[in-house]
Structure 1
Amino acid sequence: MTPLQQRHAAIEATMARYRDQEFAWGRVDCAKIAAFHLGQLGHVIRIAKAGGYKTPLGAKRALRRLGYSTLAEMADGIGLTPIAPARMLLGDLAELEGDNPIGTICLYAGNGNLFGFHQDHPGLVTLQPEKILRAWSVL
């Protein structure tokens, strides 16, 4: 399978699993979706070691148990390669501005679009952000 086919298969598997689910801390959130997606690409993400959480504060504590203070710090810590947002390919990760203290991670969907969560919608949506803070290649 080519890298582009791997990316496509991973994003399809991730969307199939999470597309119609509502946001829920510790079950369907940025970290869980990113971890599942990265797992589809062969990355070993030990997010279960963080323990359960059901609130933003609980998510922050869980992330701290893994040794990180933000999701971006975790992306760096697990060895993903930082890239310029303009170089993102299907399935790469991007950090957006947000009011969450641990950060907001989304999946690149192509054509300037990201799959992620927005406070005005209960589930995953396609976003067209004005500004991407950071990006990481998944392969």
Structure 2
Amino acid sequence: MTPLERRHAAIEATMARYRDRPFEWGKVDCAKVAAFHLKKLGHKILISKAGSYSSPLGAGRALRRLGYSTLAEMAEGIGLTPIPHARMLLGDIAQIEGDSPVGAIGLYAGNGNLFCFHEDHPGLVTFAPDRILRAWSVL
């Protein structure tokens, strides 16, 4: 399978699993979606070692148990390669502005859009953020 085919297969699997599920801390959130996606691409993600959580405060504690304070720190810590956001390809990870103290991330969907959660919608949406803060290649 080519790298683009792997990216496409991982996005399809991730969307099939999470597309119609409402946001819920610790079950269906940025970290869980990204971890599932990265596992589909062969990354070893040990998010289960963080323990369970059900609130933004709990998510912060879970990240600290893994040695990180934000999702962006975790992306760096697990070895994803930082890239300019203009070079993102399908399925890459992007950090965007968000209200959560752990940060907000999404999966690159192409054409400047991300698959991510937004406060005005109960589940994953295709969203064109005003600004991408950081980006990481998944391959």
Structure 1's consecutive aligned runs of 4 or more residues displaced over 3 angstroms after TM superposition are: none
Secondary structure of 2:98's partner?
Answer: coil
Task: Give the 5 Å matches for 1:1-139.
Answer: 1-139=1-139
Partner deviation per Cα, 1:5-43 (whole Å, 9 max, x = no partner): 000000000000000000000000000000000000000
Secondary structure of 1:22's partner?
Answer: coil
% identical aligned pairs: 77
Find the aligned partners of 2:99 and 2:56 in 1 and give their Cα distance.
11
Secondary structure of 2:14's partner?
Answer: helix
Give ranges in structure 1 of 5+ residues lacking alignment: none
Give ranges in structure 2 of 5+ residues lacking alignment: none
The alpha-carbon deviation at position 109 of structure 1 amounts to 0.3
Secondary structure of 2:122's partner?
Answer: coil
Letter in 2 for 1:73: E
Partner deviation per Cα, 1:117-137 (whole Å, 9 max, x = no partner): 000110000000110000000
Secondary structure of 1:62's partner?
Answer: helix
Partner deviation per Cα, 1:31-65 (whole Å, 9 max, x = no partner): 00000000000000000000000000000000000
Find the aligned partners of 2:66 and 2:105 in 1 and give their Cα distance.
17
Letter in 1 for 2:29: D
Find the aligned partners of 1:100 and 1:26 in 2 and give their Cα distance.
13
The alpha-carbon deviation at position 98 of structure 1 amounts to 1.0
Letter in 1 for 2:100: N
**TM-score normalised by length of structure 2:** 0.99
The alpha-carbon deviation at position 77 of structure 1 amounts to 0.1
Letter in 1 for 2:16: A
The alpha-carbon deviation at position 99 of structure 1 amounts to 1.2
